A and B are shown apart, each in its own frame.
Chain A
Amino acid sequence: MNLEDIRKDFPIVSKVIYFDNACTSLKPVQVVDAERDFHLEIGACIGRSNHLLAEKASEATENSRRKISKFVGVKSEELVFTKNTTESLNLLANSLKIEKGKTVLSTVLEHHSVILPFRKMCREKRLNFEMLEPSGDGTFTKEQWEQAINENVALIVTHNANNTIVTSPPLEFIVKKAKKVGAKVVIDGAQGIPHGKFNLYNSGVDFLAFSGHKMLSTGGVGCLAGKKEALNELAPFLIGGGTVQQVDREKEVYQDSPSRFEAGIQNYGGIVALGAAVEYLEKVSNFLEAHEKKLSARLMQALQQVGAIVYGLEERNAPLASFNFARAKPHEVSLLLSKMSKICVRSGMFCAEPAMNFFGAREGAVRASLYFYNSVEEIEKFEKALLQIKQITGA
């Protein structure tokens, strides 16, 4: 596998420099073809009809489920398909049973999709919601977690890689401490899973939520992975056809996981696409790790050269950086990058306003987030464009 061959699978990279992978990744032709082929050749629904197309649909989606489950180290029945990470987290927030008065612990670096559902849960169920602040450079120490995780903590919801400065909390330590106090651990894997394998059982976490669209797949499919016993303890969230074993006039009996949580017709084309995406990631996994390390170092070097204010540590484990110029608004920088150089980045709060406020970026920042199909040459063009913008804006 080499970069040139990989880039041929992503036609968009020949037209623009795409540095907005933390928002959504590009899709390779193999994934698009898989979804298209499903719709053109199968197209039926599963678990309802018993005709030949329904059988094929069943086979295709369960095949995908197996691949994706293996990718995150769980069994097939331990992987629930949702719409996206946000829905997965909402499912947990609405369905987890926690004793009144207990604490849900999170951090200020979380995405709004973590903070909002669990904060609402706490308000409604009279729980405490606490947000841990990192050190000034955005990292968490074991001591901080040691102090925060106490007997009253029932649930810890955090990330394995955040979307602003791409740091990771000390997960192993957190899980160990959580088990001691009997707390469950939920991981927002939206940013982390696309960049490296994660084994739920090995990590010891209870639930993992992630999205397909950030890992080469098409939008509309996300996953919630969890140990079977933990999933079966959850109250059903969205209910309807497909979630029940039996329904009569008065009561209903729900299915076990995953069907219990997959109400209605699912995005089967998207599920098949996600299976193809996981297959693609498995194929490039060795290349991905080495190449992203290179991209990461070059990106930080470029931002240093142009004198940008970069939030977080210099050394980072994925090619993502949020930055600002002293005298230029982030939206103006991102617009100029797009209009003058066809470079796609994101600007604003990145749906992580507490995090950006913590770093003092009250108007937000510019974020460049790369993936394994980006190149060092693209970073060089990015650096040149930033220098030009710096000159124009007087930043």
Chain B
Amino acid sequence: MGIFSAKYRGYSKLAFQCILRKVTLRKCDTGVEEQIRTEMTAIASSVSPSAAGFTFKYYKMILWLLTIITLASGVLMLQGAYNFYQFGNCNGPNSDEFCIFNPTATLQTCTQFEGPRELKTPTSLQGHILSNGTVTVIEYGCLTCPFTKKIEPTVQKLLQKYIGRITFIFKPLPIASHNNSWTTAVATECSDQQGKYSQYRETVFEKQNEIKQRGLAVLIEIAESQELDIEKFEQCLNSTTANNLINETFEEGIKNGIYATPTFFVGNKSFVGNVLESELTNAIEDELQ
């Protein structure tokens, strides 16, 4: 605490003096123990007398607990630093989760390119139309992106709430740095050919981490579990048709400046990342008026 706070620097100085004395086999006479014990008790007394009494009696146990937590968080911090150095993310390889060492890079998005960039509202209806209505809502998403997965419940809520009022188009944009992102997008297209798009997509989100590790094997397992024609499925995977479809939405996305997923367009408004449901509903309501 003395490192980060000038208020407690005096205590840390006393504590170090005490350690020095103990290491040289002398009695600690700095009075640091009494200072810390009474300081903790005084803080606890502002909560309640019983909290103060507990703190006074068990201060050693509380200090040990704080010491263990500090050491543990120190170890985790070193692990995070190592991961960041090795993989560019505190949480390890293939992770797009928030990293304190690089906070601006992960605003709850999966990054394709360095952003932000100027976004253009797409004009085509290319992609998967999940509902029909008067107001167009477009989502660029990557099926192996944890933030596209995270916002999926919000997407489902919007589809339910605005049924018949919005045209929701999902445009797949596989993120290059994710393992198996392209194959997953193609596989989901292939499931659409057999009329199983929604269920297949739902399961893909559920098994996202597994797909990133084991790839095609998992995609085929999902197809099997949903009783798709596996031969047809595999043929589709290897065909140019499905690949071209993905390529078209991908290229369109790059042309429109999409640098991260998920990216939403409601009318002329754009939203990047794991935005709040209220932001999307407000934009939709504005367009509906």
Binding site for B on A (CB under 8 A): 329, 331-332, 335-336, 339-340, 388, 391-394
Contact B57 A394 (CB under 8 A): yes
Which residues on the A side are within 8 Å of B35 (C-beta)?
A: 335
Complex: chain A residue closest to B54, CB-CB: A392
Could you tell me how many residues of chain B have their Cβ less than 8 Å away from some Cβ of chain A?
14
Q: A336-B41, A339-B39, A340-B45 are in contact. Are A392 and B34 (CB under 8 A)?
A: no
Q: Cβ of B228 < 8 Å from any Cβ of A?
A: no
B34-A388 in contact (CB<8A): no
Of A329, A336, A391, most B-chain CB atoms within 10 Å: A336
Told that A335-B39, A394-B53, A394-B56 touch, could you supply 8 new A-B pairs with CB distance under 8 A? A329-B34, A336-B38, A336-B42, A339-B41, A340-B42, A392-B53, A393-B53, A394-B57
B10-45 interface mask toward A, CB cutoff 8 Å, 1 = contact, 0 = none?
000000000000000000000100110111011001
The 9 listed contacts between A and B (C-beta, < 8 Å) are: A332-B37, A339-B41, A339-B42, A340-B41, A392-B45, A392-B49, A392-B53, A393-B53, A394-B57
Q: A388, B38: Cβ atoms under 8 Å?
A: no
Cβ B52 vs Cβ A392 within 8 A: yes
* Cβ-closest chain B residue relative to A333: B38
With A and B bound together, what is the CA distance between A391 and B49 in angstroms?
Answer: 8
Verify B34–A331 contact, CB threshold 8 A. Answer: yes
Shortest Cβ distance from residue B3 to the other chain A in the assembled complex, whole angstroms: 23
Determine the distance from Cα of A340 to Cα of B41 in the docked complex, in whole angstroms: 9
A331 CA to B41 CA, complexed, in Å? 14
Q: In the complex the two chains form, is A332's CB within 8 Å of B45's CB?
A: no
Residues of chain B lying within 8 A (CB to CB) of residue A391: 49, 53
Instruction: Find chain A residues with CB under 8 A from B52 CB.
Output: 392
Bound complex: CA of A263 vs CA of B4, how far in Å? 49
Query: Provided the pairs A392-B56, A393-B56, A394-B57 are in contact, do residues A332 and B49 lie with their beta carbons within 8 angstroms?
Result: no
Q: Which residue of A lies closest to B57 (CB)?
A: A394
Shortest Cβ distance from residue B193 to the other chain A in the assembled complex, whole angstroms:
74
* Nearest Cβ on chain A to B282's Cβ, whole angstroms: 50
Provide the residues of chain B in CB contact with A331, threshold 8 Å. 31, 34
Q: Which of chain B's residues have a CB closer than 8 A to the CB of A339? A: 38-39, 41-42
Interface residues of B in 44-60 (CB under 8 A from A): 45, 49, 52-53, 56-57
Interface string of B193-228 (1 = CB under 8 A from A): 000000000000000000000000000000000000
A336 to B41, CA, bound (A): 8
The CA-CA distance from A393 to B35 in the complex, in Å, is: 15
Question: Which 3 residue pairs are nearest across A and B when measured between Cβ atoms?
Answer: A339-B42, A335-B38, A392-B52
Least distance between A87 CB and chain B CB atoms (Å) = 28
The chain A residue with its CB closest to the CB of B53 is A392
Return B12 CB to nearest CB of chain A, in Å: 18
Nearest neighbor of A336 in chain B, beta-carbon distance: B38
Q: How far is the CB of A130 from chain B (nearest CB, A)?
A: 31
For A332, list chain B residues within 8 Å (CB): 34, 37-38
A331 to chain B: closest residue by CB: B34
Closest to B55 in A: A392
The residues of B that contact A388 with a CB separation of less than 8 Å are 45, 49
The reply to whether A392 and B41 contact each other, CB–CB distance below 8 Å, is yes
Give Cα A120 to B37, complex, Å. Answer: 40
| Chain B residue with Cβ nearest A388 | B49
| B34 touching A335, Cβ below 8 Å | yes
Measured in the bound complex, the distance between the Cα atoms of B49 and A392 in whole Å is 7
What residues of B have a CB within 8 angstroms of the CB of A336 in the complex? 38, 41-42
Residues of A close to B57: CB separation below 8 A: 394
B49 contacts across to A, CB distance below 8 A: 388, 391-392
Query: Shortest distance in angstroms between B161's beta carbon and chain A's nearest beta carbon?
Result: 55
Return B15 CB to nearest CB of chain A, in Å.
Answer: 16
A343 to B74, CA, bound (A): 39
- Nearest chain B residue, comparing its CB with the CB of A391: B49
| Cβ distance A284 to chain B, nearest Cβ, rounded Å | 35
CB distance from A17 to the nearest CB of B (A): 16
Nearest CB on B from A394, distance (A): 7
> Which chain A residues lie closer than 8 Å to B42 at the CB level?
336, 339-340
- Shortest B77–chain A CB gap in Å is 32
Q: Which residue of chain A has its CB nearest to the CB of B51?
A: A392
- Write the nearest CB–CB distance from B285 to chain A, whole angstroms: 54
**Docked pose: A394 CA to B50 CA in angstroms:** 11
Contacts of B34 in A (CB 8 A): 329, 331-332, 335
A344→B52 CA distance, assembly (Å): 20
CA distance A393 to B44 in the complex (A): 13
Give the Cβ gap from A3 to chain B, nearest Cβ, in Å.
Answer: 30
CA distance A329 to B37 in the complex (A): 12
Distance of A336 from chain B, by nearest CB (Å): 5
A336 to B59, CA, bound (A): 14
On chain B, the residues within 8 Å of A329 by CB distance are 34
B237 to chain A, nearest CB (A): 71
Assembly CA distance A36 to B57 (angstroms): 49
